[in-house]
Every structure is written in C-alpha cells, then in structure tokens.
Structure 1
Amino acid sequence: MQNKLSRFLENYGGILLLLLGIVLGSIVGVFFPEAVGWLKPLGDVFLNLLFAAVVPLLFFAISSAVANIDGSQKLGRIISVMAGVFLSTIVIAALCTMVVLWFFPVEAPQVPAESVSELLQAGSDDTWGDKLVRFVSVDEFYKLLSRENMLAFVIFSFLTGVAAMRSGQAGDSFRKFLSSGNEVMKHLLILIMKIAPLGLGAYFAYQVGTIGPELFGFYAKPLGLYYLLGAFYFLVFFSLYAYIAGGRSGVDRYWKNNILPSATAISTCSSIATMPVNLAAAPRMGIPASVANVVIPLGTTLHKNGSSMSSIVKIYVAFVLIGRDFFEPATLITALGITVLVSIVAGGIPNGGYIGEMLMISVYGLPTEAIPAVMIIGTLVDPIATLLNATGDTVAAMLVSRFALGRKGLNTEGIENG
C-alpha cells in the first residue's frame, strides 16, 4: 500500500500541488479580493522566469536534437513514411478539435476592455508580407533572443543543428556542448516548475479576484469538451487507423494488446514510462521489430496526438479570454503550425507543454495574463493527453508498417492466428 501511495505521489504529486495552489488562490480571490494585488507579483516572477528560460531551452533542445542525428537515423523509407504518418495524425487530431470547438463554442467571462485594448490594436496595420517576414526572420542577431521573435529563433536553432551535424569531426566539441546545454536547461526548467503551484496560485487568485468566480464555469466547458473528444478520438480514430493498417484483425489485435499500455500511460502520466510497454506489445500487434524499434522510441518524443488537441484548446481558450476571433483563417493556419512544432519540439523536455504555451503566447503576441489560463488547461488534461500521446505510437507503427512495407508489412498471419 505504501509503495502504491509513493508511486501515485511521484506520478501525480506535481499535478496535486498545482491544483492545491489553484484552489488556495481561488479561495483568496473570492474571499479576500483586496489582497490579490499583493499576490500578482509572485505570479509575474514565475512567468518571467519561464520566459527567461524558454529561449536557451529551445535553442539547446532543437539544435542538439538535429546535430546528433547519425547515419543510422537518416531518412530511409521507414523514416519517411513515419514522418508522414506522424504529421498526418497530429494535424487530423488538431482539425478534429477545431471542428468541435466551432460547434460547441465557449463563452468568455467578462474581462475589462482596457486590459486587452492594446493587444487588439497591435499589428493591425501590418501587411501579410510584413507579418511573414517578422515571424520567420530578424535583421539583427540580438533580436533572436527576444521571445517576440520566437519562430525566427526556432528556425535559427534548427539551422545551427544542421550545421553542427554536417561539420563532421571538427564539430564534435560543439555537439557535446549542445547536448550538455540541453541537459542543463532541462534541469533549470525543473527547478523553475517547483514554484509553479505558488506562481499559478497567485495568478489564479488575481484572475478570480478581478474577473470573478464565473471563471470556474469558464474552465469547465473546454475541459469537458477535451475529455469527451479525447475519449472519442481514442476509441474511434485509433480503431480506424488500426483498420487501415491491418483490417478487422488489426483492430482486434491492437485493442487486445493496448490495455496494459493504456493503463501505464494513465497511471504514470508519462509517455517515456509507457515506451517499454509499447515495445513489448508491438510484436503481438503484428508490428515488425524493424519498424517498432524505430517508430515507437521516436514517437515518444515526436508523435503526440493528445498534445496536438490540447494545444488547439489552449490557443482557443486564450483567444476567448481576450475577446479575439480564433476562427480567422490566418489564426487557424498559425495554430496548426504551432501545434505541429510543439508536438515535435516539446516532447523531450520535462513539462514541455509549458514551453509550447510560451511559444504560443509569443507568436500571437498575447498578453502574459493569458498564460496561467492555458497552463491550467494543460495540467488538467494531462492524463488523457498522455493516453493519446503514448498509445498513439503503436497504432502509428502499424500504419508505418502498412505503408512502408506494403500489405504484408504487418505480421497478418500472426494476427489471424493469434
């Protein structure tokens, strides 16, 4: 019993502490609204630390990942098909979420107009060309270090990784520096996140104190929509993917062997912890070892259906809070791009979803007041998001087997006789 309790606290302790901070902050906001002005600086300090850490963290995470690709990881047919499957399923998950939010919109709590007036006016005179140039490039190196130019910084980090990868033996020291820097920045983020319950609790107290208790009802609907959509996607779309890969027998074999991975994902809230169970289940699903040993480990970092869906929900919630239209074509296209980028980049970073939120806020130019809302959403959807992220890797491997190796890619004989 004690071991079970210890494992539970290890896996969910961070979420429970964050929820405790939110609850206490809400109580303060409801009963002591005059005190929220004193608490808001605590939230500001936490958010400033995150913003300060996100630039070097993204640089080391992206550049080190690209720089350390070796010859055995170069794109062959399996890798090419895997990239297509990963991208397709991530985009499908995002589009499904957009459709659901379109049909079931969320009403925003009343927010003082002056708090967002500057935001609504910002960039209104920019042309499409101006916006494109500003998003993807800067004219001075120092501007890359600003979170206002995050996409340009991501592109620069990727190109740095490519250059380091191609530099051969002369770049060994630099590649080691990138890997070492990546580990250091991961631990820095872990340290910063230890004060998340205090920082977000203080910000939530401020939101409740200024917007009012109606904020609770506002969070309930997007959370409910996410859980219902997540369950639907898990059962229906994963079954569809398994059917495309292996027919009815593929569906049967997938679900028969997906019970333990699903339980592991929910109980640990960790895609990495689920990876060994996925690898063990893969042969019983008919996935060849040559595919499973490539797709599942890489999928743990790069393939995240649950994160794709939650990213769209977070962006939508932020837009609703500030009174902007989420369903403008430019906003939707940008949201898809951010979702794909977050699903790929943030996977190898502890609490990587929070880095995605920083990227989202920076790209759209949203006020920092929107960050606590999207962080809270991200935390509360974590169990089912992990379920979709982790168990989606095996069904993706089934699809890769089908499209990379042909109709006989899956071990269909084993499926039929299993």
Structure 2
Amino acid sequence: MKLLNNLTVRVLLAITLGILTGYFFPETAAKLKPLGDLFINLIKMVIAPIIFLTIVLGISNMGDLKKVGRVGGKALLYFEIVTTGALAIGLILANVIRPGDGVQTAAVKGGDISKYTEQGAGMDWTEFFLHIVPNNAIKAFAEGDILQVLVFSMLFGVGLTRMGEKGKPLIQTFERLSKVFFNILGVVMVLAPLGAFGGMAFTIGKYGLSTLLPLAKLMGTVYATMILFIFVILNLILRYYKISLWAVLKFIKEELLIVLGTSSSESALPQIMDKLETLGCSRSVVGLVVPAGYSFNLDGTTIYLVMATIFLAQVFGVDLTLGQELTIIGILMVTSKGAAGVTGSGFIVLASTLTAIKVIPVEGLALLLGVDRFMSEARSITNIIGNTVATIFIANNEGEFDRTKYERVLKREAENELADYKY
C-alpha cells in the first residue's frame, strides 16, 4: 500500500504493535528494550556532529557577533519567562485538582529509590554550572554532552567568524560535512518504526497498564496540564506572529511519534533542527536556540517536577504554605535546568528538590516509579514542542523567518496528505 511508504503511518503502526505485544506477551516485550536503545544510540551517534556543524555554520553565516549575542540573550530570556510560566501553571493546577488526595501509600507498589535519593542529595549545582564549560572538547563529543558541545561550538563559530575571508574554505568544507551527516540521519530514520516498536513494547511489557490505576489521577492531571500549556500558552505565542500551531504540529508529526515511541526527546533532536530550517527559520537561529533549549527550555520536565512535588506533599498530608510553594518554584527554576544533562534526570532532580525543601519525605519517590515511564512520553513531547515554538518565535522576532518558505511548505504538506488519502 502507498500509505505504508509514509514514515508517520509506519511509526504509528509500530507503536500500536508495540502496545499490543506488551499487553499480550509481556515477558517477551520486556526483552525488546535493545531495539529502542539501538535506534536511540544511532541518533545519538550523529547528534553532537550535527549540532556542532549547525551552530558553527549558523554563527559564521550571521557574520555579526553582536547579532549572535543578541539572539542568544533573547533565547535565554524567552526560556526563563516560559519556563516560569510552566512552573506556575503546574503549581496552580496541582493545587486545584489535588491528585494526591486519597492516595494510599501502602497500596502503591514501591521500588528501590536509593540510587536516586543518593544522587539527588549529593548534587552540587555549582559544580553542574561549572561543568557547562568542557575541560576536554573531544571528551564532550565522545560522551555526547550536548551542553558542552554547544559551548564549544559557539566559541569555534566565533573564532571562525573572526578569520573573515580566510575562514571561507573551512566553512565550505563544513557545509559539505553537514550534508553528509544529514544523509546519514536519513538512513538511520528508516529504522524509526523498529525503535518505536521496541520502546513501546518494553514500556507496556515491563510496567504493565495495571500500574497506572493507583496514580491515574496524577497521570491525567499531568497530561491535561501539558495539553493546556501547549494549546493555550504555546499557541498564543505563535499566534502573535500569525503562525498556526496546529500546522506546525502536523509538519513535525513524524518526530512527535518517534518521541512517543522511544520516550526520548533526543531521538528527534537532529530531525527537528532540519525541519525548522525547512519551515523557514534561518540556520543561525536554529543552531543557537534548539541546542540551548534542550538544556534550558524543558517545559514538560518543569511541569512534571512541580506537579510531582505538590502531589507528594498532598499524599503525605504536608500542608505547604504560599511561601514554601514559591520556594519550590525558585528551586525548580535552578534544578530543572540540569535535567537534560543528568542520567535518570527526572528522579534525581526531583530528589534534589525534595532534599532542599526538607518538608516532604524523599521516600515518596517510590510512589512514582511505576508511572514515571508512562509520563516521560508527555514530558519529552512537550519539551520538543516547546523548543520548536521557541525557535519559530525567536526567528520571527529577529526577522530571520522566511514566510514565503513557510507558506510553500504548508501547501506542499497539504498536497502530499491529500495524495496519500486519495489512494
């Protein structure tokens, strides 16, 4: 069938098959995690080089280093404002809906949280921010440390720009290398359905749908909050420049489905950068905003962290004062920035926050172990949509958005969709 040639359809079918396999054959499905990991590793293989080349070419194509600083400053300001808004929305809805009321701690299957609480309690945030600057650039690439690669790439781009005409041959070489890596990415994307199938089958097979029931209200609240954030807040941000959020989401639907299947925003990071350029954002803005947003604009993670904190307070009957809730927001404004660079970030950052507050039992994290994997899809999807919107907003604000290209892309997408369904 012609429809099966469409990557979106193939990934959607793979996710469906993964859910069915996990439900009917849980023992077999729980062993399929390597399929998802294989695909994510293939993506990680090209992330660092693609980010490096995109940032360097973006800065060198800007030419004006003052403009680089201006775009970076606007991006960081945008990230802080929107992230604070996400925190406030999560805090308000968690207090209004109160998902933690009535949850019996003994009725929920716990788990070993020692590794999270130990790492969370021992997190040194001064050390984290010092870690942003790599002491070994090669090591940053080898370990795939996105934030360190970002810093090095910006410095490299600035150095290359200052060479003027003498740097042109190297820029041309980087242009060719960029095409090579995106061609590699095109080959890797053929395996996207396999990765989505393995990731979803493992999640359902290992954790089971039954684990959702005790904390269904929390999951429903988190999902509803993220949907509200996307279709109200992010939608209003795009409407300011007369951009259709729905049209953008349709354009990146393949990447969203891949994130849904793999529970990892990394799995779609390079493709989103390519899609945003195709949509009309300049390479320079894409190269600066998307990698920075991956560490500093984690809207989905931010919403989850604040709601999980308030949820645990409600479960244990801790009546937080307004001052304590504002303190939670202040702490999460800092700790959430480290979420992308920490393995098992959700629990470690949450443990760090609870340790800093000292009024909610850290042991309560065991309640969230069973459902965390099911909420990670929502976090990852919200994060990637948030960074997509941020890039489009900054590009428009800088006059670096090609409206004609945008209209042409949407028209072509509509024609392709019509051709698929005519068959």
**Pairwise CA RMSD:** 4.8
2:200 is the counterpart of 1:204: yes
Quote the Cα distance in structure 2 between the aligned partners of 1:206 and 1:162: 44
Identical-pair percentage: 18
In 1: Cα distance, 2:377 partner to 2:13 partner: 15
Q: Which of the numbers 183, 188, 197 marks the counterpart of 1:192?
A: 188
Are 2:364 and 1:364 aligned?
Answer: no
1:163 aligns with 2:156: no
1:311 aligned partner: 298
Letter in 1 for 2:343: G
Structure 1 CA distance for aligned equivalents of residues 398 and 171 of structure 2: 30
Partner AA of 1:113 in structure 2: G
C-alpha displacement at 1:29, in angstroms? 1.3
Counterpart in 2 of 1:175? 171
The question of 1:101 aligning with 2:84 is answered no
Give the match for residue 92 of structure 1.
Answer: 81
Write the mapping of 1:58-73 to structure 2, written as runs, cut at 5 A.
58-70=51-63, 73=64
Q: Mind listing any 5+ residue stretches in structure 2 that lack a counterpart? A: 253-274, 314-326, 347-368, 400-423
Give yes or no for contact 1:144–1:152 (8 Å, CA) kept in 2: yes
In the other structure, the counterpart of 2:21 is 28
Give the drift of 1:32: 0.7
Partner Cα distance (2:398, 2:55) in 1: 24
Amino acid at match of 2:82: A
> How far 1:45 moved relative to its partner?
1.3
Q: Is the 8 Å Cα contact of residues 262 and 391 (structure 1) preserved in structure 2?
A: no
Change in 2 beyond 3 A, CA 1:24/1:310: farther
3-state SS of 1:113 partner:
coil
Q: Distance in 1 between matches of 2:201 and 2:169?
A: 47
Residue of structure 2 equivalent to 1:47: 40
Runs of 5+ in structure 1 lacking a partner?
243-253, 276-294, 339-359, 399-418
TM-score by length of 2: 0.59
Are 1:268 and 2:268 matched, yes or no? no
**Do the aligned partners of residues 43 and 327 (structure 1) sit closer, same or farther apart at CA in structure 2, a change above 3 Å counting?**
farther
**1:268 partner letter:** F
> Is 1:266–1:386's contact at 8 Å kept on the other side of the alignment?
no
2:53 is equivalent to residue 75 of structure 1? no
Q: How many residues of Structure 1 are paired with residues of Structure 2 in the alignment?
A: 324
Q: Residue in 1 aligned with 2:111? A: 113
Which structure ranks higher in relative contact order (CA pairs < 8 Å, sequence separation ≥ 6)? 2
CA contact (8 A) 1:111 1:211 kept: no
Q: Cα–Cα, structure 1 residues 331 and 96, in superposed 2: closer, same or farther, change >3 Å? A: closer
- What are the Cα deviations for residues 238-285 of structure 1, in whole angstroms up to 9, with x where unaligned? 77xx6xxxxxxxxxxx7xxx37x567435534655654xxxxxxxxxx
CA contact (8 A) 1:200 1:372 kept: no
Cα distance in 1, alignment partners of residues 19 and 375 from structure 2: 13
Q: Equivalents in 1 of 2:12, 2:305: separation in Å?
A: 20
The more displaced of 117-126 and 95-104 is 117-126
Counterpart code for 1:137: P
Task: Tell whether the 8 Å contact from 2:235 to 2:245 is kept in structure 1 after alignment.
Answer: no
For 1:208 and 1:389, locate their aligned partners in 2 and report how far apart those are by CA, in whole Å. 34
CA deviation string 1:178-226 (max 9, x = no partner)? 2222222223233323322221321221121222214595765444322
CA spacing shift, 1:22–1:334, aligned 2, 3 Å: same
Counterpart residue identity of residue 332, structure 1: M
- How far is the alpha carbon of 1:175 from its aligned partner? 1.9
Distance 2:23 2:35 in 1: 18
Distance 1:60 1:372 in 2: 34
Distance 2:20 2:387 in 1: 28
Residue number in structure 2 paired with 1:227: 227
Between the aligned partners of 2:125 and 2:312, the Cα distance in structure 1 is 18
**For 1:100 and 1:227, how far apart are their aligned partners in 2?**
11
CA distance in 2, matches of 1:207, 1:25: 9
* SS of alignment partner, residue 344 of structure 2: coil
Structure 2 CA distance for aligned equivalents of residues 208 and 162 of structure 1:
47
1:132 corresponds to: 129
The worse-fitting range, judged by mean Cα deviation, of 39-48 and 116-125 is 116-125
Once the 2 structures are TM-superposed, how far is the Cα of residue 314 of structure 1 from its aligned partner? 4.0
The answer to whether the 8 Å contact 1:90/1:303 transfers is no
